[in-house]
Amino acid sequence: MNGSTATALRQLPSVDRLLQTPDVAALVAAHGRAVVTEAVRAALDEARASIRAGGEAPEYSALVQAVEAVARTRTAPTLIPVINATGVIIHTNLGRAPLSRAARQAILDVALGYSNLEYDLAQGQRGSRYAHAAALLAELTGAEAGLVVNNNAAAVTLILAALCADREVLISRGELVEIGGGFRIPDVLRQSGARLVEVGTTNRTYARDFEAAITPYTAAILTVHASNFRIVGFTHTPARDELAALAHERGLWLIDDIGSGALLDTTAYSLAPEPMPQASLQAGADLVAFSGDKLLGGPQAGLIVGRTELIELLRRFPLTRALRVDKLTLAALHATLLHYRRGEIDQIPVWAMVGASLDDLRARAETWEAALAGRGVAASVVSVESTVGGGSLPGETLPSVALALSVPSPDTLAARLRTGALPVVARIEAGRLLLDPRTVLPEQDDALLAALLAQV
């Protein structure tokens, strides 16, 4: 070590002295002592390394900045908002359904204080969390009763465990599906203690296949919507009412996992039909399970609707306690369901995105284009296809428009957009970076442009 290196090292303050300076004390107040002490050590380590490599002792202000940068990254939340410009509406990796304003407000209203979550205000005594949202859910689907749990995977597991443990459940070979995230119907059945009996073939299953498989041990027929793939060609699936009639004639339950749970008819949006809980109940299903955060457009939840005595049985089943739904979810779910009751479909972001007009989308993409052109960035508005995603409507697309940026390296720009202060997730197609306005919330337009202009 030469003399100037030794001098520079001696000029560095100690950890304690740095912590006592007003600037670093302010950081302690903001981020906590443990984090800032660690950040001070890291900053001093780095300064020493740089001096040994021939550098000079850093200025005091540079040290404080380094401490602040480390402290900020250590305390920054890992779960943060992003702008979804992919055009995939129910993007599972990006948190599925964005909530309506009313749902967000309902969450705030119960989050910031106490609530009557399990308290009957009229009687002044203990009430049930399962009373919230359940009546409205039943009303909207035409069910006798409803129950809300943590997610649809929990709903299906609960139903099978409560009604079918140690008994046989019949399911078509074409419906032994993996939903994603490792949720495989055969595994769920096994975990619930029910015995899986496969009937029919991958592409063709008839009611008579189910009938032939019924034994004295059979508890139920389970139907599962093949949410994320489609079998086309030489196929047959028995109608729900045919299966319901068979099940009831033989003293079995018909349980229907419809996955997405569209309360609205997707064909009105020029999409393929998605199973609707109303239709399934009408056809005679005893219990229908679906997600709250797919096409319903609400918070993550598992919704079960069907016959009162079965819903009651599920409510009292011990596993229900382990799958129970949170008050914030119930608040958001009720607010979302109210949109359906009031016919305010355009206030549910998922449906506003599905129903967005091409003219509106083009107008927004053109506004983005003009803003970029003002800064000398070339972009063009192009025709693309958006998808619903999230295990809904596989292979179905919505004609859309996007802003296409032809940059030398779309991957590099995409990475920079992802790692900005407000991350933007774009899609790359045919060597172009595409930004699809369909999934960008209209109130995010300015933030998107700011993020773009900071990176291009």
Ligand X SMILES: *Cc1c(COP(=O)(O)O)cnc(C)c1O
Minimum CB separation of residue 393 from ligand X in Å reads 11
- Cα–Cα distance, 124 to 130 (Å, whole number): 17
Closest to ligand X by CB, 86 vs 291, is 291
Share in percent of the chain as helix, strand, coil (round to 5): 50, 20, 35
- Cα–Cα distance, 241 to 222 (Å, whole number): 13
Phi, psi (deg, nearest 5) at residue 220: -160, 160
- Does 84 bind ligand X (CB under 6 A)? Our answer is no
Closest to ligand X by CB, 171 vs 440, is 171
**Torsion over CA: 146, 152, 155, 159 (sign):** positive
> Could you give the 3-state DSSP secondary structure of residue 379?
strand
Contacts of 422 (CB under 8 A, 6+ apart): 81, 82, 83, 447, 450, 451
Say if residues 134 and 147 touch (Cβ distance below 8 Å).
yes
Count the site residues for ligand X by CB under 6 A: 15
Work out which of 225, 334, 364, 432 binds ligand X, going by CB under 6 A. Answer: 225
Minimum CB separation of residue 231 from ligand X in Å reads 15
Report CA Rg, the chain.
28
- Closest-CB residue for ligand X? 259
Q: Which of 265, 175, 184 is nearest to 222 (CA)?
A: 175
**Among the residue ranges 120-128, 253-261, 266-274, 418-426, the one whose residues contact ligand X (CB under 6 A):** 253-261
**Among the residue ranges 242-250, 257-265, 276-284, 396-404, the one whose residues contact ligand X (CB under 6 A):** 257-265
Q: Which of residues 297-316 bind ligand X (CB under 6 A)?
A: 302
Say if residues 243 and 223 touch (Cβ distance below 8 Å).
yes
Phi, psi (deg, nearest 5) at residue 342: -90, 0
Work out which of 146, 174, 259, 297 binds ligand X, going by CB under 6 A. Answer: 259
- Does 227 bind ligand X (CB under 6 A)? Our answer is yes
Q: Which of residues 95-154 bind ligand X (CB under 6 A)?
A: 151-153
Angle between helices 33-52 and 60-75 (to 10 degrees): 130
Minimum CB separation of residue 410 from ligand X in Å reads 31
Q: Is residue 187 left, alpha or beta, with left meaning phi > 0 and alpha meaning psi from -120 to 50?
A: alpha
Minimum CB separation of residue 338 from ligand X in Å reads 21
Closest to ligand X by CB, 55 vs 180, is 180
Closest to ligand X by CB, 183 vs 206, is 183
Minimum CB separation of residue 349 from ligand X in Å reads 18
Q: Which of residues 154-183 bind ligand X (CB under 6 A)?
A: 156, 179, 183
Closest to ligand X by CB, 191 vs 412, is 191
Q: What angle do CA 271, 277, 280 make, to 5 degrees?
A: 100
- Does 237 bind ligand X (CB under 6 A)? Our answer is no
Minimum CB separation of residue 303 from ligand X in Å reads 9
Minimum CB separation of residue 260 from ligand X in Å reads 6
- Element (H or E) spanning 282, and its range? helix 277-282
- Does 391 bind ligand X (CB under 6 A)? Our answer is yes
Q: Which residues bind ligand X (CB under 6 A)?
A: 151-153, 156, 179, 183, 224-225, 227, 257, 259-260, 291, 302, 391
